Amino acid sequence: MADPHLMVVDDAARLARAGADVVADVVHADGHVTIAPATGDTPVGMYADLAERHARGDLDTGGVSIVQLDEYLGLEPGDRRALYGWMDRTVLRPLSIDAGRVSRLPTDGDLDAACAAFDRDLGARGGIDLAILGLGTNGHLGFNEPPSDAASATRTVDLTRDTIEANARYWGSEGDVPTRAVTLGLRTLLDARRILLLVAGASKHAIVRRALEGPVGEDVPASFVREARGSVTVVVDHAAWEGE
């Protein structure tokens, strides 16, 4: 465990490039890698950068497996709000990763049993090589809402007011945001061989400072990246770091 490597970059384009360099390094170092990619707005530019590298022939994704980070619950098949669909549009298709290489989080049936089985299977396969994470305005990683402890397992969660407000921008209004979700647990994320945390925009200023400079604890789940098992790179844009 070492302190996170912090990179403060000027703007969105540099954030995308710096993040894509980390992902490309991981993929090039070992073609057979398991990646858990965040949805949300922050990594979209980085995925586009990676897609360009892939289209140019500079990024072979043939050995990449994907683990879903989080998903809403209570949606019908084909619902526009499914985070799987978001991942499909921004990661899977642009990087030519077919659905057969994706471990999809359970969304129906006996979810407690299915989540426990998911963690067991993922552990048996060697866990996550690279977790690509965004930061919730309330400090969440995936949908590990505060309070979440570092040992939390993959599980169902009730979304907090903060997250419902923040996610309203994706789907129209707060009423359009599902209230329950399933998320990889912090334990699985913190066990990843590498974590890449991307943070952009002045609205994340207070929480990124709390996560990296405040007390480590369950009220700010992202603070636990400072106790992660593997190496951690945090790429923050100027607006988020300085709050202006």
Q: Does 107 bind ligand GLP (CB under 6 A)?
A: no
* 140 included as an active-site residue: yes
* 162 included as an active-site residue: no
Site string for ligand GLP, 138-177 (x = CB under 6 A): ----xx-------------------x---x----------
Structure tokens at 70: 């989080």
Among all residues, whose Cβ is closest to ligand GLP?
134
CB 181 to ligand GLP: min, Å: 7
Site string for ligand GLP, 56-95 (x = CB under 6 A): -------------xx-------------------------
- Give the span between the Cα atoms of 52 and 176, in whole angstroms: 33
| 59 SS3 class | coil
Residue number with CB closer to ligand GLP (2 or 173): 173
What is the length of the chain?
244
Element (H, E) at 67: strand 64-67
Residue number with CB closer to ligand GLP (42 or 188): 42
Q: Tell me which amino acid residue 231 is.
A: S
The alpha-helical segments, DSSP class H, found in 62-197 are 83-87, 111-124, 161-171, 186-190
- Give the span between the Cα atoms of 226 and 190, in whole angstroms: 9
- Catalytic-labelled residue, pool 49, 70, 129, 237: 70
**Residues 3-62 interacting with ligand GLP (rule: CB under 6 A):** 38-42
Exposed/middle/buried for residue 33 (C-beta within 10 Å: 0-12, 13-18, 19+): buried
List, by residue number, the catalytic residues: 70, 138, 140, 145
